[in-house]
Amino acid sequence: MGTLLVLGTRPAAAATEPPPLRELADGAGIRLGVAVAWPELGRRPEVARLVARHFHSITPENALKWAPIEHQQGRRDLAAADALVGWALEHGLTVKGHALVWDQEIPAWLLGRESAELQSALDAHLSATLDEFGTGVHQWDVVNEALDPQGQLAPSPFITAFGPGHIDAAFRAVRRRLPDALLLYNDYDLSAGGPKTTGLLRLVDGMQARGVPLDGVGIQSHLDIARPPPPEALPALLAALHERGLVAHISELDVRIGRAGGARWGREAAQAWHVHRVARACIEAPACTALTVWGLYDGDHWTAREGLQREGPVLLDRALQPKSAFHALAAALRGEAPPVCTENIIEHGDLEDGARGWTTGGGVLRRTQAAAHSGDFGLHHDQRTAEWQGPVRDLSAHLGAGLDWRVALQARHDGPSDQPLRLTLRLEDDGGERFVPLAKVVAPPGEWVTLATEWTPKLEGPLRRADLYLEGPAAGVAVDVDDMQAGVVCPDS
Ligand code: G3I
């Protein structure tokens, strides 16, 4: 068995608190919001402190929806909404009203009732809600999620009872009561450029042609690193909305990572890239004035409440510590590249400050100056008894799906003739064990060669093994390696 060297550990998180995101957003020219719930916000003073520190506004996640307010006929429960609006105004934050008309949140006791009863109940709900909150809440998702995946108006009790004109009627009713508020249509799956995006533009064009008081569109942006949208689709939609004189909000950003494979670090790197991409698109688009994340920390996201523990979709982890996504949002607001897209994740890859974490399946590894390609040290591997034996670096704590990865290594051998030098990744996940050839060079004796490639992982579930290693020369041939690197390559970052 080869000499075993101790694996390194990642440095502890910095003790100082990151600067307020809202101050960075002020410099970037957008407003930042976060969805919050009550009583959860009131029960977690640290969460409340972070919300007030980092954001300009809140969106009540559920408290202003019709069903939670009027879950009992004739009895309106505004306690949560009052508490959230009161808390926000007390802390100098604004509130976005979400969502006045949404067929998924019609009180259950109203379903199946006659159209006239639904109409009068809806009128009463709009009047009462706007009477109560219209002075403190100046932006509203008036209608939420009225389109189907093909961009057509989806069947709903509202369509059945009132026809497609109910959307215009809702905006007109709210405008009559709130002449100065920002009135938005809000929907999901709009930033992939598909038929729903086309349907949205058809919807807003019709509304504008009919003189409906629509001010803007909420692009929810519930993303999944396993299903990345084409990056150019969101800027195109933002430009199209600007052409129409409409405001755009990224209204419900979260990026799920549970359906992708690999290590959490790598999946969170992909999440961070998507947060950065969406934030930059908003900052650079004249139409986009606000970005709201759909929850502050992973432990209180709706996916966690529904037991989807691997999703980790938002900015802070369960311990309220900033994740790569938080730092990527900060970087986007500063106009910098995302922090994960240039990072070399291999500790001691250049062997300068040690060789912890390097192992091998046979022979002897020695950190020595004679093996240096750059700097003062490299790794010398001799007494190899098989061609597959070589210096190994474990990537199982890092490698994740959702982005491309760059891997590189400098190597040479002392064989009597040309030898193949191969960079290989040995993987084991839910898809079983497999060997992925990443790079190969036939090298003459004693000559340093570069083994490098970019690679998109195809991973299934958590990684049980991800060994990046050199192999190839015949048994008995010694090899030197130095400057091993693996890092995330972000498209057009
Ligand atoms: O509070 C009750 C609790 O008392 C009860 O025991 C429990 C069991 O039924 O339900 C709890 O209410 C749940 C509520 O979330 C609070 O957790 C509702 O059932 C549940 O339907 C509701 O889900 C919300 C969902 O919208 C439907 O309104 C999610 O929290 C919320 O994150 C989600 O947000 C939506 C946006 O409004 C629109 N865009 C999509 C986005 C994500 O789905």
Which helix (H) or strand (E) is 170 found in, with range? helix 165-177
- For residue 3, what pLDDT is reported? 41
Report the distance separating Cα 216 and Cα 197, nearest Å: 14
145 catalytic? Reply is yes
Confirm if 74 and 109 have CB atoms less than 8 A apart. Answer: no
pLDDT at 13 over 70: no
Q: In this predicted model, what pLDDT tens digit does every residue of 276-303 receive, in sequence order? A: 999 999 999 999 999 999 999 999 999 9
Report the distance separating Cα 490 and Cα 164, nearest Å: 42
Scanning the structure block, which residue is given the tokens 């403190």?
Answer: 136
Considering the entire predicted model, what is its pTM?
0.94
For a pocket test of ligand 1, which of 302, 308, 311 has the largest count of ligand atoms closer than 8 A to its C-beta?
302
Please give the distance, rounded to the nearest whole angstrom, from the Cα atom of residue 137 to the centre of ligand 1.
21
Q: Can you give 284-331 as a three-state secondary structure string?
A: HCCCEEEEEECCCEHHHCHHHHCCCCCCCCCCECCCCCECHHHHHHHH
Q: In this predicted model, what pLDDT tens digit does every residue of 327-374 receive, in sequence order? A: 999 999 999 999 998 889 999 999 999 999 999 989 999 999 999 999
- For residue 15, what pLDDT is reported? 63
What strands, in cross-sheet order, belong to the sheet with 432-443?
Answer: 358-360, 391-394, 465-471, 419-429, 432-443
Question: 48: buried, middle or exposed (CB in 10 Å: 19+, 13-18, 0-12)?
Answer: middle
What is the average per-residue pLDDT within 437-466?
96
Query: Which residue has its alpha carbon closest to ligand 1 atom 28?
Result: 62
460 catalytic? Reply is no
Task: List the single range of 10-24, 131-145, 170-184, 474-488 with lowest mean pLDDT.
Answer: 10-24
pLDDT at 4 over 80: no
pLDDT at 439 over 70: yes
Please give the distance, rounded to the nearest whole angstrom, from the Cα atom of residue 303 to the centre of ligand 1.
10
Give percent above pLDDT 90 in the chain: 93
What is the average per-residue pLDDT within 235-264?
97
Report the distance separating Cα 332 and Cα 275, nearest Å: 8
Please give the distance, rounded to the nearest whole angstrom, from the Cα atom of residue 95 to the centre of ligand 1.
19
Tokens at 213, concatenated: 């008081």
- 19 Cβ neighbours under 8 A, 6+ residues apart: 330
- For residue 343, what pLDDT is reported? 81
The residues lining ligand 1, judged by C-beta closer than 6 Å to any ligand atom, are 61-62, 65, 105, 144, 188, 220, 252, 302, 305
Chain mean pLDDT for the chain: 95
- For residue 8, what pLDDT is reported? 39
3-state SS class at 9: coil
Q: Which residue in 105, 145, 311, 471 is the catalytic one?
A: 145
- For residue 309, what pLDDT is reported? 82
Please give the distance, rounded to the nearest whole angstrom, from the Cα atom of residue 61 to the centre of ligand 1.
8
Q: In this predicted model, what pLDDT tens digit does every residue of 31-59 receive, in sequence order? A: 999 999 999 999 999 999 999 999 999 99
Report the distance separating Cα 385 and Cα 400, nearest Å: 32
